[in-house]
Structure 1
Amino acid sequence: MTETTAQKYWEDFYRERDRVWTGKPNVLLVREVSDLTPGSALDLGCGEGGDAIWLAERGWRVRAVDVSVIALSRAAERAAGAGVGDRITWERHDLAHSFPAGSFDLVTSQFLHSPVAADGERDKILRHAAKAVAPGGVLLIVAHAGWPTWMTEAPFLEFPTIPGTLAALDLSPEAWQVETGEVIDREWPGPEGQAGRREDTVLRIRRLR
């Protein structure tokens, strides 16, 4: 099978370092999910598994997907070490071409950004994500809203906005309710310890029926 551009990019990305992420869950995921009753969860773009492991430790049954085999292998090893390997199923998907089957009480997309994504690809993936939410369940989308303030020569990238994401999802107001729609400004230090800030968007949307 021919490797896609996204597969090649992210395999190379993870291959360059033994560990990329801290292993801690995303703080905005923790903020938005801590009050939910554990059930089934789908973690899109799970990376090295920090979010999936945190969810499993709190009683969720997790389907965690990523395009990178290297990332999934590291995540599965960490989950086994944390004693929650039996609560997480790991699957490889290039979400632009395939999507996990089933419905879930929580579908979470944390920082689903890619420098090699085609136009409209993220919107298509998020529409699939919405369809995977079970009645009564939650779709959680967290994204960067801009570059950190310490980046003086940032490359061009059109970051998603809350209105833009909602427009792309095109959800029926009779069937969905926005519970959180917020831009968060927080400290974001640079790789050399520079002081800085960064804005993120948080969308928590509940499927009513």
Structure 2
Amino acid sequence: MSQHQHDHDDAPDYFEQAGWDERYSGSEKIWSGKPNPQLVAEVSGLTPGTAMDLGCGEGGDVIWLAQQGWTVTGADFSPEGLARASRHATEAGVGDRTDWWQVDARIFDAGGRQFDLVTTHFLHPGGAMVDVVGRLTAAVAPGGHLLVVGHAPSEVFEQLSRKQHDAMWHAADLLPALTDDFEVLVVEDRPRVAERDGTTMEIEDATLLARRR
């Protein structure tokens, strides 16, 4: 077995709750806290209302939305992540504009709840993303927007495992999940320059934006 394979075998399973609980259990902040760029690009012009961010992690996008005037539900399957996000929202002064929902995206059920904006960023639940997006459509209120952003497959992610590569998707792959009452506004793999471990690289954000009629 190669060292590369050995490292993957020893790594936490980030397709499952326990892996993320382990990652969020330390004292160090994992993410930058800055909003994801496609969220800023696509949502800045919308009138604030209610929003849900699925896979919210430490809450960076939730906090940014709340700062723009949205009332936001941050949803994630990791209670450790949600606890961090709640603390960060309080520290940012937007705790009163946020609430939190522990839910696994793979079995997400809106339960009749609807939002003016439903968004998720870099959620890669194995090969189940089309199903997840289909589940999310029910949570979008009439006139509301659905924004889904993820990693498009790319050779720059060569260090990842085969399972992780297979979990990536192109924006167009998600179109079958939309029902007839959705109007597609954006469907593209959008180039973006990113820095990873001190190296600058160009990646593509698979970006789907749709509006429910």
Please give the range of the TM-score, normalised by the shorter of the 2 chains.
Answer: 0.7 to 0.9
Deviations 1:142-184 (A, max 9, x none): 11102463x44443223212221102x0421xx2211112221
1:122 maps to 2:132: no
- Which residue pairs with 2:4 in the alignment? none
Larger helix proportion of the pair: 2
Q: Which residue of 2 aligns with 1:94?
A: 104
The yes-or-no answer on 1:64 pairing with 2:82 is no
| 1:127 CA drift (Å) | 0.8
Give, in whole Å, the separation in 2 of the partners of 1:106 and 1:90: 16
Give 1:23's aligned residue: 33
Number of residues of Structure 1 aligned to a counterpart in Structure 2? 195
Partner Cα distance (2:75, 2:178) in 1: 24
The alignment's C-alpha RMSD in Å is 1.8
Taking a change above 3 Å as real, the CA distance of residues 170 and 195 of structure 1, as seen in their structure-2 partners, is closer
CA positional deviation for 1:196: 1.5
Runs ≥4 in structure 1, deviation > 6 angstroms?
A: none
- TM-score (norm. length: structure 2): 0.85
Determine the C-alpha separation between the residues in 1 that align with 2:48 and 2:106. Answer: 28
Kept in 1, the 8 Å contact 2:110–2:138? The answer is no
Whole-Å separation in 2 of the counterparts to 1:204 and 1:170: 11
Which residue is 1:77 aligned to? 87
Give structure 2 stretches of 5+ with no counterpart. Answer: 1-14
More deviation, 93-102/139-148 = 93-102
Give the direction of change, closer, same or farther, for the CA distance of 1:148–1:52 in structure 2 (3 Å limit).
farther
Paired letter, 1:133: V
The percent of aligned pairs where both chains have the same amino acid is: 39
Letter in 2 for 1:88: T
SS state at 1:135 partner? strand
**1:207 counterpart residue number:** 212
Question: Within the alignment, does 1:48 sit opposite 2:58 as a pair?
Answer: yes
Offset of residue 82 of structure 1: 1.1
In structure 1, the residue matched to 2:184 is 178
Q: Tell me the TM-score normalized by structure 1.
A: 0.86
Q: 1:63 to 1:92 in 2, by over 3 A?
A: same
What is the aligned counterpart of 2:196 among 190, 197, 209? Answer: 190
Q: Report what 2:149 is aligned to.
A: 142
Secondary structure at 1:48's aligned position in 2? coil
How far apart, CA to CA, are the structure 1 residues paired with 2:209 and 2:20? Answer: 27
CA distance, structure 1, for counterparts of residue 102 and residue 84 of structure 2: 13
